[in-house]
Chain A
Amino acid sequence: MPINENKEWKPLIVAFCCNWCSYAGADLAGTSRLSYPAEVKIIKVPCSCRVNPMFILKAFERGADGVIMCGCHPGDCHYSTGNYYARRRMTMLFSMLDYLGIDRQRTRVEWVSAAEGQKFAAVMNDFAKTITELGENVKLGDLRCKKQQD
């Protein structure tokens, strides 16, 4: 029997990281060999304020089980105010998802500086653990993406 038929379910996690702090934080995690689950895939954006709610929904549509956005700590934004806007936008979006009955733990925002490799890894480990416990995301996704067609 081929092994992958028995494959255990693993979550799919998309992480949007701002170029200046969080992406560098992720790099530092790498340089420091701090491991976190391979399920986490990072997309680089210039600033957390570049993250459009449509990207997050798109990720869920395509079958992501959790989406996390990381940016510079408030006050430290490379573009001075970007993450303040991002903070409001994400709060609103997450609130709406929660309101629609989507598990609120599937979305998260964390501020990770370039020096916080440790924190980056810890956050990702924790988020992946949360998502794994929540299980597969069935409430928000396009079934057409999950169905195996032949």
Chain B
Amino acid sequence: MYYIEKAKLSELFSKIAENRSLYLPVKKNGQTNFAHWEEGTEYCDDLKTVKSAKDHFFPQTESLMHFKTEGKKIQINQDKIPDEKTVLFGVRGCDAKSFKILDSVFMSEPQDAFYTARRENSVVITTACSSPDEACFCGVFGVDPADPKADSDVVTWFAGDKLYWEAVSEKGEALTEEIKDVLSSSDEKEVEEEKARISEITKLLPLNNMSLSAFGGDKTDALFNAPQWDKLSEACLGCGSCTFVCPTCQCYDVRDYNGANGIQRYRCWDSCMFSDFTMMAHGTNRPTQKQRFRQRFMHKLVYFPANNNGEFSCVGCGRCVARCPISMNIAKVIKSFGGDK
């Protein structure tokens, strides 16, 4: 275990940035999101970024290839696979877990070359949550906000006036080796106290004790035609705010942009909540918002676990709880199927 004084954080950041690109939560125009660190950039220790960390690996838009056409001839050029070595700092336990969930989508065969390359080139540094809020329910999905080492390379804690640093993977250790100069060794006493403090708080979180017993890969028949969906989906606006702030949502669209100098094919986030998501020339298999709403939650709580050894596609980050324009969210869905018992 190492530490560095909080006051010297920028030294740590410049050290990391010597050989790699560093991304961390930054407040800009009132909103905190992950951003590239440059000398002078200030780290923001808000509990949650507005958008999750997923767009570091699965950006909202990403160019895949370019076409050139001349008469009837075409030329297809794949875009360069990213090779930037990156470090993500300040990732919360929930977001770190979401990477594993995204991995099981994008890194299963056939692998997504762009995602895989980004993922392989990055080191994830998680930071324990010193003040979880009422919307957090990561405990329900097995995330430990006090000690998020499960899915990270390095775990850090802010305690007292120090940042504690512990490498928990090979990648993490390699990074630690690189930057050891700016770190000092430490015992684990203060960290243990911090962990204990956070654990106490998590017990108070109102949504953190929900039960998922109603859900799982084998629950399609039990849930699909349940009457609750009508009420739950009634007010849904069909916007994508839940999807776009969600760390695990990974639906995408592929579009062509016909610019003046050739055609770009790019990928962008999409949402199963959008009315045109499954629209084809002759219609859609999910014409109602109820069906689209149900799809999103069934996917997270039933279909995804069915294909991924029971793992749910939700990490309990609570972003949808905070961001939904009409305050409908996955916690309410879980509760309406008996999750609050």
Answer whether A and B touch in the complex at a CB cut-off of 8 Å: yes
Chain A residues in the interface with B (C-beta under 8 A): 62-63, 142, 144-149
Q: Give complex CA distance A142, B264 in Å.
A: 12
Contact B259 A148, beta carbon cutoff 8 Å:
no
For residue B66, which residue of chain A has the nearest CB? A149
Query: Can you list, as one digit per residue, whether each of B58-78 has a CB less than 8 Å from chain A (1) or not (0)?
Result: 000000001010000000000
Sample of 6 more A-B contacts, CB < 8 Å, known A149-B66, A149-B261? A144-B259, A144-B264, A145-B261, A147-B259, A149-B68, A149-B264
Contact B259 A142, beta carbon cutoff 8 Å:
yes
Q: How far is the CB of A55 from chain B (nearest CB, A)?
A: 16
For residue A147, which residue of chain B has the nearest CB? B261
> In B251-270, which residues have CB < 8 Å from any A CB?
257, 259-262, 264
Q: Give complex CA distance A49, B185 in Å.
A: 73
Question: CB-CB < 8 A to B264: which residues of A?
Answer: 144, 149
Chain B residues in the interface with A (C-beta under 8 A): 66, 68, 257, 259-262, 264
- Looking at chain A's contact residues, the main secondary structure is loop
Q: Give complex CA distance A62, B259 in Å.
A: 7
- 21 A-B contact pairs sorted by A residue (CB < 8 Å): A62-B260, A63-B260, A142-B257, A142-B259, A144-B257, A144-B259, A144-B264, A145-B259, A145-B260, A145-B261, A146-B260, A146-B261, A147-B259, A147-B261, A148-B261, A149-B66, A149-B68, A149-B259, A149-B261, A149-B262, A149-B264
Q: Give complex CA distance A149, B258 in Å.
A: 12
Question: CB-CB < 8 A to A63: which residues of B?
Answer: 260
Question: CB-CB < 8 A to B261: which residues of A?
Answer: 145-149
Q: Which of B68, B260, B264 has the most CB of A within 10 A?
A: B260
Q: How far is the CB of A62 from chain B (nearest CB, A)?
A: 6
For residue A142, which residue of chain B has the nearest CB? B259
Q: How far is the CB of A58 from chain B (nearest CB, A)?
A: 12
Question: CB-CB < 8 A to B257: which residues of A?
Answer: 142, 144
Q: How far is the CB of B268 from chain A (nearest CB, A)?
A: 13
Q: Which of A63, A146, A149 has the most CB of B within 10 A?
A: A149
Q: How far is the CB of A29 from chain B (nearest CB, A)?
A: 28
Q: Give complex CA distance A148, B257 in Å.
A: 14
Q: Give complex CA distance A144, B255 in Å.
A: 14
Q: How far is the CB of A120 from chain B (nearest CB, A)?
A: 27
Q: Give complex CA distance A54, B235 in Å.
A: 32
For residue A143, which residue of chain B has the nearest CB? B259
